[in-house]
Amino acid sequence: MEKILALDVGEKRIGIAVSDTLFITAQGVTTLERTNWREDVKAIRELIKKHEATEIVVGMPKGMDGSIGPSALKVREFIAKMARFITLPIIEWDERFSTAASERMLIDADVRRDKRKKVIDKLAAQFILQGYMDFKRNIEQDGRNQRENKNPNDKLQINYKLQLPNG
C-alpha cells in the first residue's frame, strides 16, 4: 500500500510523518536525532521500507517573502545527498508556519515545554504532509471539475432563473 513520508529537516533533529494509504491524513511517526547525514539517510531508508513509502515530501524553510535563505540551502544540500541513495520522488514543500502552528497547538493543549521539544518536529512534519496532501487533493478535484464542466458557468446558466417584476 502506497504512502507518503514527510521530513521536517532541522540542524539537530528530523521530524518524520507518514500518510495513510488513502492520502487523507498525516500521522507524526518519530523524531530522529541527527548524527551525520549518512546515518540520517540510513534511518530514513529504514522508515521508507517500514512504511512502504513511494514518495517523500521535505519541508522547505522559506523566508516570509518566499526567499531561499541559509536554512533552506542546508535542507537542499541534505536533499541532494539523500537523493543519491533514495530513488523515490522527493518533493520540496513550503513549510512556513508549520513549526509555529505545531508550537501553538501544543501550547494550547497545555503540553509542558520539555515534552513539546520531544514532539514538535514530528508534529511539524505532520503539518507539512497534511498541507501537501490537501493541496494535491484540491488540485485533483479542480481537474475533475474542469473535465466535467468544459464551461464552468454552464451550471450557473442552467440554475439561473430570471425574475421579472409583476406588471
Tell me, what CATH number does 22's domain have?
3.30.420.140
Q: Which residue has the cell 520540496?
A: 92
Q: Are 10 and 119 in contact (CB under 8 A)?
A: no
- 113/125: higher pLDDT: 125
Residue 161 has pLDDT above 70, yes or no: no
- Asked whether residue 83 is assigned to any structural domain, the reply reads yes
Confidence of residue 114 (pLDDT cuts 50, 70, 90): confident
- Asked whether residue 144 is assigned to any structural domain, the reply reads yes
- The pTM of this model reads 0.77
- Asked whether residue 132 is assigned to any structural domain, the reply reads yes
Residue 53 has pLDDT above 90, yes or no: yes
Q: Are 134 and 4 in contact (CB under 8 A)?
A: no
- Asked whether residue 46 is assigned to any structural domain, the reply reads yes
Residue 36 has pLDDT above 70, yes or no: yes
C-alpha cell at 147: 473535465
> What are the residues whose beta carbons fall under 8 Å from the beta carbon of 62, sequence distance 6 or more?
68, 69, 72, 94, 95, 96
In the beta sheet, which residues pair with residue 55? 4
- Asked whether residue 165 is assigned to any structural domain, the reply reads no
C-alpha cell at 52: 512502504
Percent above pLDDT 70 for the chain: 74
The Cβ-side half-sphere exposure at 13, using a 13 Å CA radius, reads 15
Least confident of 11-20, 56-65, 105-114: 105-114
The number of folded domains in the chain is 1
Residues in the chain: 167
Which residue range(s) make up the domain with 48? Answer: 3-159
- Asked whether residue 164 is assigned to any structural domain, the reply reads no
**Cα separations (Å) of 101 from 98, 127, 137, 150?**
5, 8, 21, 39
- Asked whether residue 12 is assigned to any structural domain, the reply reads yes
As a whole number of angstroms, the distance between CA 51 and CA 128 comes to 18
As a whole number of angstroms, the distance between CA 16 and CA 70 comes to 22
- 147/48: higher pLDDT: 48
